Structure 1
Amino acid sequence: MDSGSARQGSGHMRNVILITFVTAVGGFLFGFDNGAISGSAGFIQDRFGLGAGGLGWVTSSIIVGCIAGVVIAGRLSDVVGRKKVMLATAAVFVVGAVGEGLAPSADWLVAARILVGIGIGTETTIAPLYIAEVAPPSRRGRLVSYNQLFNTIGNLVVFSISALITRAHSDAWNTSDGWRYTFAMGVVPAVAFFLLLFLVPESPRWLVRRGRRDEGLAVLRRITPTPSAAERGLAEIEAALRERSAGLRDLWTPRLRRTLAIGFGVALFQQITGINAIFYYAPEVFKSAGVGSDDAIASTVLIGVVLVAATLLSMWLIDRVGRRSLLLVGASAMTVLLACTGLVFRAEHPNGPLLLALILGYVAFFAVSFGTVTYVIISEIFPTRVRGVAASVATFALWGGNYLVSQFFPVLVSDIGSSATFLIFAGVSLAALAFTVVLVPETKGRSLEEVERQLYGGTAPGPVEEAGTAHRH
């Protein structure tokens, strides 16, 4: 490769990385806003005189908004474009964060959290899809995973901010005002997200689909190493669009039903294997094992650290060992670790350090597998013509599962105990393993059009080199 080609190649990757980084800021907002309630719940309960049911509604109302966002996101992005929908999402985050910070009543706070939830649901649907549509096949898994990495970083940042605000002031001030600052600080990354989006182009696949061929080719030239690679990419997109003329009703046809089942199932299993039981209720889980309050909170922070570290590991592995392999290893390990957790809770006095080790192990294997891979799979497996709306259907399963776990985990623990509850999660993880073995394909190293041919017709080609490159980097 001569020096001119090398400069051109590095330039195209700089553009791809810029698009990935800007889009992943939306993932940071997801983690920040979703985690803001954790350190604020007690103060909100005192401020508005809420009972357990009222606090539960304030906490879970964000998921209602998420589901609504998922419902509208895919179809809207197919009509007006990925970039425009993300710009609108950034504006929704700004308004929602201000509303949470100024909330004069619990009802106002619920309304603001539903609005923020709409932004989260939209972001989790569109951001991975958009990154997948601009990323080269050899690096797509890692680049799509940046959205999940920024999500976990957002969690850690808001946990840290909440802790700093709480420790710096009295309980009375925290009850009246402290939690408002935690929520309102979400305005800063939301405004940054909005402004940064003006630096990135529209998805080339969406542009070509809408008949804006020249614009799509111009974007492809920015994100592929050579003009000839851009032309080949354009030809592949146009061929896929000619071959696959599908609409919403076609999602339920035999040709698409299996793929929809894969996306829906992977998304559902991501949630119902118990991660949000840990995320939302970790302090109570540890307290039920006899761990003191301070140690329980410290353990929760440690969970956040493990989430970030394991997500980084997943990003390193996903384009090397593949999506399916990570899901198989993760589901197997999660089954064993959750079963052991259930057995630990059978003891009259559960072993706190052992429980922490098992839960951290579960969190690590979850983050390496379903936590990261789910978003990549959803972004890859659907045909170009219905990718947005199909991704919405799959992501709906994710948030529906989130709602079920967050709503009913305390009920299960109360009615059947922690041991039986974690054994149920172990059984669900075993079902996730069987589902992966039977249905989930490997998509590592293939262009989106090759994945489409693999799933919908013809002989699947083998993994390809990045278009226009002579070697893997």
Structure 2
Amino acid sequence: MNYQEKGSKTYLFSIVLVAVLGGLLFGYDTAVISGAEKGLQAFFLGAKDFVYTDVIHGITSSSALLGCILGSALSGFFATRFGRKKSLIIAGFFFFVSALGSYYPEFLLFEHGKPDFNLLIAFNIYRIIGGVGVGLASAICPMYIAEVAPSNIRGTLVSWNQFAIIFGQLVVYFVNFLILGEHTNPIIEKTAENIYYVLPTSDAWTIMTGWRYMFGSEAFVAAVFTVLVFLVPESPRYLALVGRDSRALEVLARINGITKAREILADIKSTVEVKSERLFSFGVMVIFVGVMLSVFQQAVGINAVLYYAPRIFDSMHMGDPMVQTVIMGIVNISFTLVAVFTVEKLGRKPLLIWGSIGMAIGAFGVAVSNLVTVPPIVPVVSIMVYSASFMFSWGPICWVLIAEIFPNTIRGAAVAVAVAFQWIFNFIVSSTFVPMYNMRLGEMGDKFGHMFAYALYGVICVVAAIFVYKLVPETKGKTLEDMTNLWRKKSAK
């Protein structure tokens, strides 16, 4: 094999681009519910054999997250047993099956267009299958990028995965907006007995068909991603872990050049000579920090905003909520780029701390807007500040740290545990948001729920900033092998 002296950035960027498509699918799959959930709710409110309550709707809207928990928990096994590449192919297959099944959950078993409890179960199963794909991709895509990227640009390249997640959400906001077209979301009212019903004047197409197209649109992206993953190489660090040193050197040389590749491979081999599969081989603290990064990324409440954005903007009574959702998507994209271009200059910790403070200000702004009378622009801007602050901090930087903070020999298992906790708390936040947001108290009515939800998220943002300042190590400029040595020293004390 003739190795080139200089690596190819074109080769590196091309394989990273394929990996970040997994992030795009991650964002697409998790945010598609934002445009579809009202039509879906109206559809199942027509069921005759059960009552479709707030709680059931919250679980149905968040059911994909159950699959995310399962997929992320299994990602360590998949990544270690089958490799990073094959695991991403499996994830793509799950995405594709879920998209088609969510589009047509009646397939072979049920009468088309007839809502009942069995069809609800089938729909949720398809969403859970997609969630397994998201869980696998969410853990393995950043892991794969971190393992192929040179240390001086690793943070930037892993941040592009978060950019792809947010871009996927923006794409699906646009797709949902275009699918809806001249049609309107159903009008859903609540009786004095807290029973929901759909007004007869609601658009029947949105109730019966629109939400199907929204879910089904993901199949095209899933198919492209799955095909392209076949063309990328396996992660060189995984190859070294399983003893395929010559292939690992070949991939590293194409990225870094042969001289640098030999140095990197020697560093990798020095950290895996004593291979241990025990999760706590490097102490409890490294696992605790990784898990809490994941917990805080979700506990700050961001996905409640992303999943229910049109509903939230609708409650603020300021213009078209779908248009405002698209605007929020554009803001999110813009501020994710802030992280992409500053993460190697400013470091991971400063971005997380300042982002936490910005999120707290935005969340408290929404909470206060429900206590006193303010112009509608105030809560809308507060939501934008909250979301934008997340996008340059916890959104991308959490994934960067999870991908690079763990030692080589436990990375697969440790990332799986951390990301599983992320999806567990994503599910908790997302499934509890609607009931909490709709809580009523005395004369405040549902404004109490609006205030309470965002005040709670604001407090958690403050706690997150303190956690980062006290416990999270800075990883800027360090190789993955440096992190192995850092935690080895800490565990030896």
Q: Same fold (TM over 0.5)?
A: yes
Q: 2:322 aligns with which of 286, 291, 297?
A: 297
Q: 2:92 aligns with which of 79, 90, 93?
A: 90
Q: 1:117 aligns with which of 103, 124, 131?
A: 131
Output the CA distance in 1 between the equivalents of 2:381 and 2:23: 28
- The residue number in structure 1 matching 2:264 is 233
Given the alignment of the two structures, is residue 192 of structure 1 paired with residue 224 of structure 2, yes or no? yes
Output the CA distance in 1 between the equivalents of 2:85 and 2:204: 43
User: Given the superposition, is the C-alpha separation of residues 46 and 355 from structure 1 closer, same or farther in structure 2, using an over 3 Å criterion?
Assistant: closer
Residue segments in structure 1 that go unaligned for 5+ positions in a row: 460-473
Residues 395-448 of structure 1 show CA distances to partners (whole Å, capped at 9, x for unaligned) of: 112111111111222333315532232222111111101100111111111111
- 1:32-47 pair list within 5 angstroms: 32-47=28-43
What TM-score do the two structures reach when normalised by structure 2? 0.86
Given the alignment of the two structures, is residue 338 of structure 1 paired with residue 366 of structure 2, yes or no? no
User: Given the superposition, is the C-alpha separation of residues 433 and 81 from structure 1 closer, same or farther in structure 2, using an over 3 Å criterion?
Assistant: same
Residues 365-404 of structure 1 show CA distances to partners (whole Å, capped at 9, x for unaligned) of: 1110001100000000111111111001111121111111
8 Å CA contact 2:75–2:139 kept in 1: the answer is yes
The offset of 1:458, in angstroms, is 8.2
The offset of 1:340, in angstroms, is 2.9
- The residue number in structure 2 matching 1:468 is none
Q: 1:103 aligns with which of 82, 102, 105?
A: 105
- Deviating runs (4+, > 4 A) in structure 1? none
The offset of 1:267, in angstroms, is 1.0
8 Å CA contact 2:147–2:236 kept in 1: the answer is yes
- The residue number in structure 1 matching 2:286 is 259
Given the alignment of the two structures, is residue 275 of structure 1 paired with residue 302 of structure 2, yes or no? yes
Secondary structure of 2:476's aligned partner: coil
8 Å CA contact 1:346–1:419 kept in 2: the answer is yes
- The residue number in structure 1 matching 2:382 is 358
- The residue number in structure 2 matching 1:132 is 146
- The residue number in structure 1 matching 2:113 is none
The offset of 1:260, in angstroms, is 0.9
8 Å CA contact 2:357–2:462 kept in 1: the answer is yes
Q: 2:417 aligns with which of 379, 384, 393?
A: 393
Output the CA distance in 2 between the equivalents of 1:167 and 1:422: 32
The offset of 1:350, in angstroms, is 3.6
- The residue number in structure 2 matching 1:469 is none
Q: 1:204 aligns with which of 201, 219, 236?
A: 236
Of 395-404 and 331-340, the range deviating more from structure 2 = 331-340
Output the CA distance in 2 between the equivalents of 1:408 and 1:168: 32
Residues 99-128 of structure 1 show CA distances to partners (whole Å, capped at 9, x for unaligned) of: 111112322211110000000011001000
8 Å CA contact 2:366–2:383 kept in 1: the answer is yes
The offset of 1:8, in angstroms, is 5.6
Q: 2:252 aligns with which of 194, 201, 220?
A: 220
Output the CA distance in 2 between the equivalents of 1:455 and 1:45: 48
Amino acid at match of 1:241: V
- 1:31-70 pair list within 5 angstroms: 31-48=27-44, 49=46, 51-52=52-53, 53-70=55-72
8 Å CA contact 2:353–2:469 kept in 1: the answer is yes
8 Å CA contact 1:334–1:365 kept in 2: the answer is yes
- The residue number in structure 1 matching 2:344 is 319
User: Given the superposition, is the C-alpha separation of residues 246 and 398 from structure 1 closer, same or farther in structure 2, using an over 3 Å criterion?
Assistant: same
- The residue number in structure 1 matching 2:445 is none
Output the CA distance in 1 between the equivalents of 2:5 and 2:384: 44
- 1:153-192 pair list within 5 angstroms: 153-168=167-182, 171-192=203-224
User: Given the superposition, is the C-alpha separation of residues 190 and 287 from structure 1 closer, same or farther in structure 2, using an over 3 Å criterion?
Assistant: closer
Residue segments in structure 2 that go unaligned for 5+ positions in a row: 107-118, 185-202, 441-447
Output the CA distance in 1 between the equivalents of 2:314 and 2:61: 20
Output the CA distance in 2 between the equivalents of 1:409 and 1:96: 24
Q: 2:164 aligns with which of 147, 150, 168?
A: 150
The offset of 1:168, in angstroms, is 4.7
User: Given the superposition, is the C-alpha separation of residues 384 and 98 from structure 1 closer, same or farther in structure 2, using an over 3 Å criterion?
Assistant: same
Secondary structure of 1:453's aligned partner: helix
Secondary structure of 1:399's aligned partner: helix
User: Given the superposition, is the C-alpha separation of residues 116 and 282 from structure 1 closer, same or farther in structure 2, using an over 3 Å criterion?
Assistant: same
Output the CA distance in 2 between the equivalents of 1:27 and 1:220: 23
Aligned residues: 445
Of 331-340 and 146-155, the range deviating more from structure 2 = 331-340
Output the CA distance in 2 between the equivalents of 1:408 and 1:300: 21
The offset of 1:169, in angstroms, is 5.4
Amino acid at match of 2:365: C
8 Å CA contact 2:34–2:308 kept in 1: the answer is no
8 Å CA contact 1:94–1:186 kept in 2: the answer is yes
- Taking only aligned residues, the RMSD between alpha carbons, in angstroms, comes to 2.0
Output the CA distance in 2 between the equivalents of 1:281 and 1:246: 43
Output the CA distance in 2 between the equivalents of 1:458 and 1:126: 26
Residues 72-106 of structure 1 show CA distances to partners (whole Å, capped at 9, x for unaligned) of: 11121111100000011111111111111111232
User: Given the superposition, is the C-alpha separation of residues 296 and 165 from structure 1 closer, same or farther in structure 2, using an over 3 Å criterion?
Assistant: closer
- The residue number in structure 2 matching 1:466 is none
Residues 9-55 of structure 1 show CA distances to partners (whole Å, capped at 9, x for unaligned) of: 4x521111111100011111111121222222222233332523443
8 Å CA contact 1:286–1:352 kept in 2: the answer is no
Name whichever structure is richer in helix by fraction.
1
Query: Percentage identity across aligned positions?
Result: 34
What TM-score do the two structures reach when normalised by structure 1? 0.90
The offset of 1:173, in angstroms, is 2.8
Secondary structure of 1:138's aligned partner: coil
Output the CA distance in 2 between the equivalents of 1:402 and 1:96: 19
- The residue number in structure 1 matching 2:116 is none
